[in-house]
A and B are shown apart, each in its own frame.
Chain A
Amino acid sequence: MNVTIVDYNSGNISSVINSFKEVAKDKVNIEVTSDLNKIKSSDKVVLPGQGSFKSCVDALNNIDGLTDILNELTMINKKPLLGICVGLQMFADIGYEETETKGLGWIAGKVSKIDNQNGKFKLPHIGWNQINIIKDSKIFKDINNNSHMYFVHSYEFIPEDKNVISATIDYSSNIVCSVEKENIFGTQFHPEKSDKIGLKIINNFISL
């Protein structure tokens, strides 16, 4: 099996690579590439993302044909895809970081700045927070409710259809931290930095 981590100059992805390689060992081949043919032929795709919504969307669009391939893989071929942090946020129709930017539109909704309640809550939301699992998700197999995950973000994904939400966290309000829609999975937290429990989520995704 081939799991491809899409390398589209979205910032620092070495931790994502290290964690997937650690979990995959020799069972699964982890490919890190922006090569369209390789992405097209992979069994599963990981879409990381750091920096701003706009910078990540711009970086995706900078690689000719990449969004078409991703659309085909996820929407038509129904290959499992895991979006991490801004990778998840880009599922939305639109994001408001820096300027209004069109997302991939895989899950209807928007990405807006977390309401810090006039400075009552620090932003970015950095650190370990406990997730509240509200829907059975395949990537949460053997993951206990209230497990700690590592977060670093200032924006939140607000999907229109609340049924896609698999977990939330409490930070100024209930913030979506995980979604599942058919073959599309996303985490606002960083499983690659969430210790053993995070590696388990990665393992769950690889084992789908």
Chain B
Amino acid sequence: MLKNRIIPCLDVKNGRVVKGINFVDLKDAGDPVEQAKIYSDGGADEICFLDITASNENRNTIFDVVEKTSKKCFVPLTVGGGIRSVEDINRLLNCGADKVSINTAAVENSKVVIDSSKKFGSQCIVVAIDAKKNGDKWEVFTHGGRNNSGIDAIEYVKQMEENGAGELLVTSMDRDGTQVGYDIDLMSKISSRVNIPIIASGGVGNLDHLVEGIKLGKASAVLAASIFHYGKYSVKEAKEYLDSKGIPVRI
């Protein structure tokens, strides 16, 4: 039986973890490689890096981080943030990323998803969607949530599936950072609209939210950042909790 995945996400800026795990025995709390290793040793099903480096001159730092991490972590590694072109994707994959998550570029230039999924295979192309509710629909935002494209998210995901996306990473902007739980309505609508797996993101504050994301939101995987970073729960605790609620997880 296929298991639901738990994916901790690390925000990386200029090659350093911005929000990290606060462990006393951590040699270097800002080292993304060390933090990713802790997660993979703790049973994370995948690791996600979100590069939030703002300046172009520091963009290269993520490549070094990915290269080092992929030599130490032997679970899938997804990298997102700042990916503009097929060449950017090529470089990340060559550094050892297993998948890339494409956000703004997927909206602005549909060829990026079409061409990269043809070249590298759909299995490594994740389209990330930042969606915000407006009336009775959700709109797709770009540039880290700053620009409203006005595109209807539910229509957009279907197009992304057709363009060759292998997975969708769906973030509710209304819920992100609130810790009140995923936008279940958004997740389940998107999940039933497409036949590719979706990863739910944005709003997790406790372990019941993970359960809801899978059971009600019909997500194949759940992504969370802060509940793991601040040591509120470990990945292992999260998995044991999901297991106790009858959700199939890898333990």
B66 closest partner in A (C-beta): A14
Assess the A126–B195 pair: CB atoms within 8 A.
no
Q: Are A12 and B124 in contact (CB under 8 A)?
A: yes
Q: How far is the CA of A52 from the CA of B95 in the complex (A)?
A: 22
A129 to B95, Cβ gap below 8 A? Answer: no
Q: Chain A interface: which of B18-26, B51-59, B67-75, B102-110?
A: B67-75
A interface residue numbers (CB < 8 A to B): 11-12, 14-15, 18-19, 21-22, 50-52, 55, 116, 119, 122-130, 148, 150-154, 170-171, 192-196, 198-199
Complexed CA–CA distance, A171 and B2 (Å): 7
Query: B121 contacts A19, CB within 8 Å?
Result: no
> Per-position contact with A for B83-111: 1 when CB-CB < 8 Å, else 0?
00000000001111110000000000000
Min CB gap A116→B, angstroms: 7
Docked pose: A42 CA to B109 CA in angstroms: 44
**Is B197 on the interface with A (CB-CB < 8 A)?**
yes
Q: What distance in Å separates the Cβ of B47 from its nearest Cβ neighbour in chain A?
A: 11
A128 engages B45 (CB within 8 Å): yes
- Chain B residues 173-212 with CB under 8 Å of chain A are 195-197
Complex contacts, A11 vs chain B, CB 8 Å? 93, 119-121, 124
A-B contacts, 30 of them at CB < 8 A, read A11-B93, A11-B119, A11-B120, A12-B124, A15-B70, A15-B74, A15-B96, A18-B70, A18-B74, A19-B74, A50-B124, A51-B119, A51-B120, A55-B118, A119-B195, A122-B197, A123-B195, A124-B122, A124-B166, A124-B167, A126-B123, A126-B167, A128-B2, A128-B45, A129-B2, A193-B74, A193-B76, A194-B74, A195-B40, A198-B74
A12 to B66, CA, bound (A): 14
Q: How far is the CA of A130 from the CA of B3 in the complex (A)?
A: 8
Cβ–Cβ < 8 Å partners of A193 in chain B:
74-76, 98
How far apart sit A11 and B95, CA to CA, in the bound complex (Å)? 13
**Could you tell me the distance between the alpha carbons of A65 and B134 in the complex, rounded to whole angstroms?**
59
Q: B145-173 toward A: CB 8 Å interface, digit per residue (1/0)?
A: 00000000000000000000011000000
Interface check B236, CB cutoff 8 A: no
Q: A51-B119, A125-B2 are in contact. List 6 more A-B contacts (CB 8 A).
A: A12-B124, A18-B71, A21-B71, A51-B121, A171-B2, A195-B75
| Set of chain A residues within 8 Å of B75, measured between Cβ atoms | 150, 193-195
Q: A122, B220: Cβ atoms under 8 Å? A: yes
CA distance A119 to B167 in the complex (A): 15
- Which A residues lie within 8 Å of B71 (CB)? 18, 21-22
On whether the beta carbons of B3 and A148 are closer than 8 Å, the reply is: yes
List, in ascending order, chain B residues with CB within 8 A of A198's CB.
Answer: 74
When distances are taken between beta carbons in the complex, the residues of chain A under 8 Å from B40 are 195
Q: Is B250 an interface residue (CB 8 A)?
A: yes
Complex Cα distance, B195 from A129, in Å, reads 19
Instruction: Give 7 closest A-B pairs by Cβ, nearest first.
Output: A51-B121, A12-B93, A152-B123, A128-B250, A14-B96, A148-B250, A128-B3
A186 to B95, CA, bound (A): 25
How extensive is the interface on chain B, given as a class?
20 to 34
Are B74 and A199 within 8 A (Cβ)?
yes
Q: How far is the CB of B45 from chain A (nearest CB, A)?
A: 6
Minimum C-beta distance from A161 to chain B (A):
27
Cα of A44 to Cα of B236 in the assembled complex, Å: 37
Task: List residues of chain B with CB within 8 A of the CB of A153.
Answer: 123
Give the chain A neighbours of B132 by CB distance below 8 A.
Answer: none
Known contacts A11-B121, A129-B2: does B93 contact A124 (CB below 8 Å)? no
CB nearest to B121 among chain A residues: A51
Nearest Cβ on chain B to A121's Cβ, whole angstroms: 8
Among A127, A130, A171, point to the contact of B221 (Cβ < 8 A). A127
What chain B residues lie within 8 Å of A21 (beta carbons)?
Answer: 71
Alpha-carbon gap, A11 to B96, bound state (A): 12
Do the beta carbons of B74 and A116 come within 8 Å of each other? Answer: no
Distance to closest chain B CB from A21 (angstroms): 8
**In the complex, what's the smallest C-beta–C-beta distance from B16 to chain A, in angstroms?**
23
* Nearest A residue (CB) for B199: A126
The answer, yes or no, to whether B13 is at the interface (CB within 8 Å) is: no
In chain B, residues 1-30, which have Cβ atoms closer than 8 Å to a Cβ of chain A? 1-5
